[in-house]
Structure 1
Amino acid sequence: MRDVFEDTIREALLFPAPMLILVPDGFEFSAPLRRALPEAQRLAPVDRQILFMLITHHYNMVGEAEHARLLPDRETLARLEYPALLMALRAPTAQNAARKLQKLTRPRRPVREEALTLAEIGGNSAAHQAAAALAADVQACLQGTASWSDIPRSLLLYGDPGTGKTMLAQATARSAGLPIIIASAAEWQARGHLGHMLNAMLGTFSQAAAQRPCIVFIDEIDSFGSRDGRDQHNSNYRRQVINVLLKEIDKFLAVDGTLLLGACNAVDTIDPAICRPGRFDKVVELGRPHLRQVAHMLRQVFTEPEEVLGLARLCVGQTPAEIDATVRAAKATARREGIPFDASYFTAHLKCNRPERPALERRIALHEAGHAFVTALLLGASAVERIVITKDVGMTTRGTAIIEGTTHEFEGEMAILLAGRAAEHLVLGDVSAGSGGGPGSDLERATRLQLHCDQVFGLGIHGPAWLGEPDMARLSRADWDRVRVKLQQFEQNARDLLAPHRDLLESLAGALILQREMNAEELWPWLSQITGSN
């Protein structure tokens, strides 16, 4: 489309006549035309005078008219979108058109009525703390005890689907007392081709700037991708979109009273220029809720403290979306069956839909205890922050062994990654597929780490050479054999570390099955025994 447009301009340049070129925001000419054409002049935004003249001409009116006093004010008209103008001009009279404009430019309530505050959500993770700090800073600016230029004004949340990133953004806005405008790449792209998408993007930021103080929340921001990504399909389109997004973010945050929130699942797929400080000052993971937050959620449904804690242990490890869906499904089932909905019914509903499998739960608990023990033995007991197990999966939150990037540290990290398999083999005599799976699994991370040592970090068989990012589909048989042997060695190292502590390992696994979640303080009695900590 750009090539066709530029050909038209080149043809027009052959004629000695004045030329007016109109282009939408975000459009970029090729380098030769950028150098040849004069600097672009931005058209003035629609105001009352422009709109008065337009309506007067459209309805063939003469002189002062009634519709002049009905037109929205300048700030409201700054939010006017082209479809709204066309819809208003379909009215039979000028007065009706002006009234229609008033209605169409009235801002929709940006935060849903049922949006919670941060206090009502009740989380205490790093993401919740960052959101609370942002809301407190905004309140300080509104009260005049701080200036907008002195506070962080952007936050990017990432994590698994369903962890409540959008809800946290809305709660931040409500706690700060600001309107929030929610947008996404998909929503902008749904407007049509590139020009329409860019206009929709510019409209979002213009609307927010006109409403400031205001928050813009860009959901699923990872769908923009990266300009330097391996996927070259539509790379030119993606590059233009990201370039305009970067410019709009910079212009938006240059104005006092503007805040930017974002959310995504995979932060490592975002263009680095988007998530750098100055655009997103802080990037924080929003993980699955801790036991205390799960109990806080269920306390909105069940009132007895004893009941809530037991139910929370059954739900720990699930995302807020999963817990909410489970509660709604149980309520609906109880209503259809004509049975009162209470804690005992919810417990029965959970156990019916997720039957107990004690052998699997014990394997999961041993697997996670293995990660924790080897982490403690190599890094210290305080390096293990949290263990969560459910009826299906487990998760251990811990520190990393890689600080300086030495061979010894990489080998320790891979031993920790394979410690779950090692614990299963040590106690149960075999291993499960629990360490495998997709990206992020223990085996995937250990495999990539070993390949990076060999091919990228200059710490492996190839010596001080950089061979580029490993391509799994093109590895030689020799490379695969080496990775397999090395990982088997690290798994054996982990098993050797665990063997003297087998009884304590099983004891911790039993406690995990009962408690479902243990934090650093609760893990200390077990881990301090094997590290000799006081």
Structure 2
Amino acid sequence: MKGNNKNKKKRYTTMIIYFIMVFMFIMTANYVKEAATTKEITYNEFSDMIANKEISKVVITNENLIITPTENSEFKDKTLYTGNVNDEKLISTLQQHPEIIFKGTSPKKTPLMDFALSWILPMVAFFFIWKFIFAKMGNGGGGMGGGIMGIGKNNAKVYIENEIGVTFEDVAGQEEAKESLKEVIDFLNCPGKYTEIGAKLPKGVLLVGPPGTGKTLIARAVAGEAKVPFFSLSGSSFVEMFVGVGASRVRELFKDAVAKAPCIVFIDEIDAIGKSRDNQMQSNDEREQTLNQLLAEMDGFDPSKGVVLLGATNRPEILDKALLRPGRFDRRVIVDRPDFKGREAILKVHAKNVHLGEDVDLVEIAKGTPGAVGADLANIVNEAALRAVRTRRKVVLQEDLRDAVEVIIAGKEKKDRILSSKEKELVAFHEVGHALVATLLEGTDPVHKITIVPRTMGALGYTMQLPEEEKYLISKEDLMNQITVMLGGRSAEEEVFNVVSTGASNDIERATQSARSMVSVYGMSDKFDMMALESIQNRYLDGRAVRNCSEETSTLLDQETLKIIKSAHDKAREILRENRDLLDTISNVILEKETLFGDEFMGFIYEKYPDMKEQKDKKDKEREQKNEEQKEKQRKKQEEIDQLKKANEEKEKAEFLKTVGVKIEAGSNLDKTLNDAIDASNSEE
């Protein structure tokens, strides 16, 4: 109540100040206007002006004579007035000058009305304008900032414990990140065991990773697990057009956070205010003041109070070094793209509220989406559910999920795009060229699907390859094979039709990027050995390459890149030339069916190369055996963990029985002994 009274008093004081300011403004405006447009003259001057024919009009009132000068008068831009002296000859004098228009008038406005129109009416108008505008702007009409009246105030969204609704059970595929943050949660819940030994709570934790990996979700889950209030805001919400606003908001934020401690403060896209101050060309006084205030606040607040600052960014390389030093953001947690197991876990989380059919295999979808982040996988599950509704089914089937993956990768089928027979034939041979080269090279991912159905993202057809296992390292040979597969489509066009088309533009672009990276980044060129000619910036965004060499060296780099592409191009054409029969046969089947799946495609390959079938069966058997061995290892490891937990429980029981004075006989059942001791204690009571 006291706070409300203070706020009301402050508002009334502000209103009174504004009224005084407006009153002074109106007085000044009226005075200036009157001084600029009117002038008082003597009656003698008035008589002289009549004689000199410098008057065009006279209005006679009870008190004044209001005079309008002619154009040749020195007072032509002003209205003149003089007192009415009851001159009996005035009317006859004016009649002698026909060029002067004169008339008499009675006052229509009383002094009270004149005062009301000049002073009261503007004040009333201002009052209503003030009520409308400032009520809108001051009470948050128009955004988080609270309007112009609350421009320097903290605009963070505050979630109390029961409003967060997110825990680590809702976060999948980021086990390492969760493990790194569990200690922070434990500190917020049980600070005593840490402060007892002298440990301090990390002041700040920086979450780093590509867009869509779940940094914001993890931050909310930390607050949900710790059961503490959660302040959430974006880095861009600190910076306004007014200098000093950002710093004021930082002060207010930490003041509110300390008042609600223990709590978690989450600043998303912290690079908006935490950008390095080294670049003088892009300096911004308001942003730098905000950053300086943030640094000062992080130094100033007491970590024992339980305020943890979580920041999230996908551009860590541009953050100010002072922000990243120990004592501010003590920990950096990488929230990277999930691996196969992570993708499977994420799909299970997003699919738990979706009605799935019996044929749904999330493992297959996880294998077919390498590089996908949590947001992509959530989108896939949602697209599958929407497709099921469109087809009037109550459950999501595996075909819905497969189609959703293709929609995300290549777009929807463009049914209204009709290709000519020649274009369709060209696309068919192009896609089969990719598939054949991929299959007949070692170390490439197997072909899952070939289609010549146009898609909304521009593709007239595509070949989908699915990896059999997750790869974390790629050899030079594997990269060369990938480039060769990319150039397989254009090579097929050249071999069959002896023409080139624009359909290979994306293949050429990706092949050039890979070949250039082999030389400039990965050190896979004999000419440059292990020299880094380019560095990668914005690793978690577009991964743009920045040149670190001279123009002359860059020319040599282009030559080495061209050499790799020519080698891959020649190899692709050679493979297709040697297997022209397969190219023709499979392309004709594709032209008839439009879509060919991996098993049917491989059937044509195995007819010509039966040994490839044997090798595949052998690899599948080895892979299955390896998976069984891994499962057995995991089972044994889990048994060891369970035994260790049981041993710890037994130890705790034994220590408890000793403290209450119960003797433990060798080979006795600790559970029974513990229950007997409890029963004995209850009977004594």
Normalising by structure 1, we get a TM-score of 0.55
Q: Does 1:177 align with 2:249?
A: no
Could you say which residue in structure 1 is the equivalent of 2:367?
313
Q: How does 1:440-455 map to 2 (within 5 A)?
A: 445-446=521-522, 453=531
Structural mapping, 1:95-134, within 5 Å:
108-109=158-159, 113=163, 115-134=165-184
Distance 1:358 1:290 in 2: 30
Helix, strand or coil for the counterpart of 1:212?
A: coil
2:498 aligns with: none
Q: Partners in 2 of 1:420 and 1:270 — Cα distance?
A: 36
Sort the Cα spacing of 1:131 and 1:363 in 2 relative to 1 into closer, same or farther, 3 A: farther
After superposition, give the CA deviation of every residue in 1:76-124 in whole Å (9 maximum; x if it has no partner): xxxxxx9999659xxxxxxxxxxxxxxx999843579574311332334
Contact (CA 8 Å) 1:155, 1:262: kept in 2 or not? yes
Aligned position for 1:188: 238
Residues 347 and 480 (structure 1), Cα distance of their counterparts in 2 relative to 1, 3 Å cut: same
Is residue 137 of structure 1 aligned with residue 195 of structure 2? no
Q: Per-residue CA shift, 1:162-194, capped at 9, x if unaligned?
A: 1111001111111121221112221222x5423
* Letter in structure 2 aligned against 1:170: R
**Counterparts in 2 of 1:391 and 1:160: CA distance versus 1, 3 Å:** farther
> Is residue 339 of structure 2 the alignment partner of residue 290 of structure 1?
yes
The 3 A distance-change label for structure 1 pair 57 and 111 is: closer
- Superposed displacement of residue 146, structure 1: 2.5
Residue identity opposite 1:259 in structure 2: V
The residue type paired with residue 263 of structure 1 is A
- How does 1:209-224 map onto structure 2 within 5 Å? 209-224=258-273
CA separation in 1, counterparts of 2:442 and 2:175? 21
* Structure 2 residue runs without a partner (length 5+): 14-133, 141-153, 412-430, 446-463, 489-506, 536-544, 567-611, 631-685
Partner of 1:423, secondary structure, is helix
For the pair 1:397 / 2:451, whether they are aligned, the reply is: no
Aligned residue for 1:215, secondary structure, equals: strand
CA distance in 2, matches of 1:198, 1:392: 51
What whole-Å deviation, never above 9, does each CA across 1:397-429 have from its counterpart, x for those lacking one? 35xxxxxxxxxxxxxxxxx78554333468898
* Equivalent position of 1:422 in the other structure: 480
Shift of 1:314: 3.2
Amino acid at match of 2:553: D
Following the alignment from structure 1 to structure 2, what is the Cα–Cα distance between the partners of residues 481 and 112? 62
Cα shift readout 1:323-380 (whole Å, capped 9, x = no counterpart): 1122223323332442223233423533652579787689889999589xxxxxxxxx
- Say if 1:260 and 1:49 are closer, same or farther in 2 by CA, change over 3 A: same
State the shift of 1:196 in Å. Answer: 2.0
Is the CA contact (8 Å cut-off) linking 1:435 and 1:441 kept in structure 2? no
Task: Judge conservation of contact 1:135–1:176 (CA < 8 Å) in 2.
Answer: yes
Match of 2:310 among 246, 261, 270: 261
| Distance verdict in 2 for CA 1:395–1:295, change over 3 Å | closer
| Secondary structure in structure 1 of the residue aligned to 2:309 | strand
Q: Does 1:328 align with 2:328?
A: no
How has the CA–CA distance of structure 1 residues 106 and 152 changed in structure 2, closer, same or farther, with 3 Å as cutoff? closer
1:202/1:248 contact within 8 Å kept: yes
Identity %: 21
Which residue of the partner structure matches residue 639 of structure 2?
none
Amino acid at match of 2:270: I
Write the distance in 1 (CA, Å) between the matches of 2:442 and 2:295. Answer: 42
Separation in 2, partners of 1:198, 1:298:
42
Aligned to 2:394: 340
Instruction: For residues 123-172 of structure 1, give each alpha carbon's deviation from its aligned partner in whole angstroms, at most 9, with x where no partner exists.
Output: 3443232123322333332xx33339434343211111111110011111
Give the conservation status (yes or no) of the 8 Å contact 2:512–2:565.
no
Partner of 2:275, secondary structure, is coil
**1:150 is matched by which residue type in structure 2?**
K
Residues 377-416 of structure 1 correspond to what in structure 2 (within 5 A)? 396-398=471-473
8 Å CA contact 1:118, 1:172 repeated in 2: yes
User: Which protein has the larger Cα radius of gyration, Structure 1 or Structure 2?
Assistant: 2
Report the secondary structure of 2:329's partner residue.
coil
CA-CA distance at 1:258 after TM superposition: 0.8
Shift of 1:441: 6.2
1:297 and 1:139, CA in 2 relative to 1: closer, same or farther beyond 3 A? Answer: same
1:251 paired residue number: 300
Q: What pairs up with 1:17-96 in 2 under 5 angstroms? A: 52=5, 55=8, 87=139
Match of 2:207 in 1: 157
Q: AA paired with 1:182? A: S
Change (3 A) 1:320 1:275: same
- The letter of the residue matching 2:194 is A
Mapped to 2, the partners of 1:293 and 1:321 lie a distance apart of 13
Change (3 A) 1:108 1:136: closer
Q: Structure 2-normalised TM-score?
A: 0.44
Structure-2 separation of matches of 1:219 and 1:448: 39
Letter in 2 for 1:187: S
Following TM superposition, by how much is the alpha carbon of 1:210 offset from its aligned partner in structure 2, in angstroms?
Answer: 1.2
Structure 1, unaligned runs of 5 or more: 1-47, 61-81, 89-103, 372-389, 399-415, 458-469, 493-505, 526-534
Contact 2:204 2:331 in 1 (8 A): yes
Match of 1:240 in 2: 289
Following the alignment from structure 1 to structure 2, what is the Cα–Cα distance between the partners of residues 179 and 224? 23
Residue identity in the other structure for 1:318: A
